[in-house]
Amino acid sequence: MIVSHRAAGIAFFGIITVILIIQSFRLHGAPAIRHVGSQLSSKASSDVLNTTLGFQKIFVINLPERTDRRDAMTLTAALTNLQITWAKGVPGTDVPDKVIPGEDWEKSILRGNKGSWRAHMNVLNTIIDHNLTSALILEDDADWDIRLKSQLQLFARAAQPFTANTHQAATVTDPDKIINVPITSIPSLSNESLSSPYGNNWDVLWLGHCGTNFPTSITLATPPTNTSLLRVTILNDPTVPNPEHLRAHPFALQDQLAELYPPHTRVVHHSSGAICTQAYAVSQQGARKLLWRFGVKEALTKGWDLVLGEWCDGLFAEQGRDTAPVCVTVQPPLFSHHFGKGAASDITAPGGGFVDKEKEMTPYVRWSVRLNMGLLVEGAEVSDQWPDE
C-alpha cells in the first residue's frame, strides 16, 4: 500500500544524532546514518513538508497548447499533495527582437531558446512583483520520487552550511581542500527566524538538472569561500538508485558520484557546470539578481540552463567585488526529466537524442510519480524502477 510505503520512507528518513560540531570525515568506514522514527521537529523543517515544499509558491512553466503535459503535471502534483501555479510558456515567435537585452545577442539562437528565456524571465518577474520570499520553478515534464518531501527535508538540512550566513571569502584555510561532511554532523534546522526553511542566504537551489560537477579548486571562477568545496553526504539513502543507474544516458562515462562514493549516497554541494533546468528554486534575492542580469543587462547567447549554470559558477561575478552566487545542488538530482513514449521537447531533442524513445523512464528517480501514476490513481502498490538485488 502507498501509505505503508510512505510511512516506511519517512521512518527511514527520520533523523538522529545531532552532533553540533561540523567535522570532516573519511568516507570509508564512515558511520551510516542511524535511522529512528523521529521527525525533525522544528517549524522550519516541517514547512518543507507543506504543499509548496517550504517555498512560497511552486510555478510550472507550460505552453498552453501542451495540454498533454498539463494533464500529467496536474495529476503528478495532486498525487504528491502539491499546490502548483501555472506559468505560461512563451513561443519563441512571440519574443520580438527589441525586448532582448544587449546589443550583441546571438541572432542565430534557436526560437525555442528565446521562448524559454522569456518564460523563465516572466516567472522571475512575478516572484519580484509579488515579493515572494522564494519559489520553486518546474518545467512541465519534471518528475520526482513519491518520497520527495522527506528527501527535501534532508536536503534542507544538508544545505544549511551553504545557506546559513553571508559568505566570507577571507577565512579559507586551505582553498584546495575538499571536505566531506556527513549530514549527521549538521545541526537540525533551528527555530530562528529563517526567511526560508532552506536558509537565509541563498540564490538558487538547483534541485533538478541533467548533470553537474563537483567543484574543484580548478573550476572555481571566484575566490574560494569556506563552503566552495564542501560536500555534505547523505549515506545509505534508499531513494538513490544503484550506481549503474546513475549515468545520464547509456553512452555516458560512469557518473562521478558513482565513482567517488559508496552506493546509495546522495551529495549536496555548490553547483558547478550544472545543465538543464527541470527544477530550481530561487529566493527573492536570487530572482532580483537574475532578472537584473539576464532580463535587463546581459545579451542572450545560449539556452537559459547554460546561462544559469555559468552564472552559478561565478562567471558573471564582477571582477574583485562579488563572490559567486550561492547556488546549491544535489547529486543525484531530486527532480528529473520524464521521458514519455515518443517524447519530444519543445526546444531540442531530449537527452541529446540518446534516450530510448520506446521506453518510458525518468533518470535517477526510483519511485517515480509519473511511472506510477496509473497505480497511484487506482490506489495500488507502487513499483521501484530499479529494485536493489
Ligand X SMILES: *[C@@H]1O[C@H](CO)[C@@H](O)[C@H](O)[C@H]1NC(C)=O
Residue numbers at the binding site for ligand X (CB under 6 A): 47, 50-52, 54, 56, 83, 131, 133, 197
Residue carrying C-alpha cell 525586448: 99
Q: Between 58 and 267, name the residue whose CB sits nearer to ligand X.
A: 58
Q: Where are the beta strands (DSSP E) in 23-76?
A: 57-62
List 205's β-bridge partners, or say none: 281, 328
Q: Between 204 and 220, name the residue whose CB sits nearer to ligand X.
A: 204
Report, in Å, the least distance between residue 7 CB and ligand X. 22
Nearest to 198 by CA among 268, 294, 273, 122: 268
Cβ–Cβ under 8 Å, residues 91 and 64: no
- Alpha-helical (H) ranges within the chain are 2-13, 43-47, 67-79, 111-129, 148-163, 256-260, 284-291, 304-312, 373-378
Report, in Å, the least distance between residue 51 CB and ligand X. 5
Distance between CA atoms of residues 52 and 277, nearest Å: 18
Distances (CA, A) of 365 to 46, 70, 92: 23, 20, 31
Distance between CA atoms of residues 142 and 336, nearest Å: 5
Report, in Å, the least distance between residue 321 CB and ligand X. 25
281 phi-psi bin (left φ>0, alpha ψ -120 to 50, beta other): beta
Amino acid at 202: W
Report, in Å, the least distance between residue 307 CB and ligand X. 27
Q: Between 23 and 131, name the residue whose CB sits nearer to ligand X.
A: 131
Q: Between 113 and 188, name the residue whose CB sits nearer to ligand X.
A: 188
Q: Between 108 and 131, name the residue whose CB sits nearer to ligand X.
A: 131
Report, in Å, the least distance between residue 58 CB and ligand X. 9
Q: Between 132 and 275, name the residue whose CB sits nearer to ligand X.
A: 132
Q: Alpha-carbon dihedral of residues 40, 44, 49, 55, nearest 10 degrees? A: -150
Report, in Å, the least distance between residue 44 CB and ligand X. 7
Q: Between 149 and 231, name the residue whose CB sits nearer to ligand X.
A: 149
Q: Between 83 and 216, name the residue whose CB sits nearer to ligand X.
A: 83
- Alpha-helical (H) ranges within 94-194 are 111-129, 148-163
Report, in Å, the least distance between residue 57 CB and ligand X. 8
Nearest to 308 by CA among 290, 284, 328, 334: 290
Report, in Å, the least distance between residue 149 CB and ligand X. 11
Distance between CA atoms of residues 65 and 69, nearest Å: 9
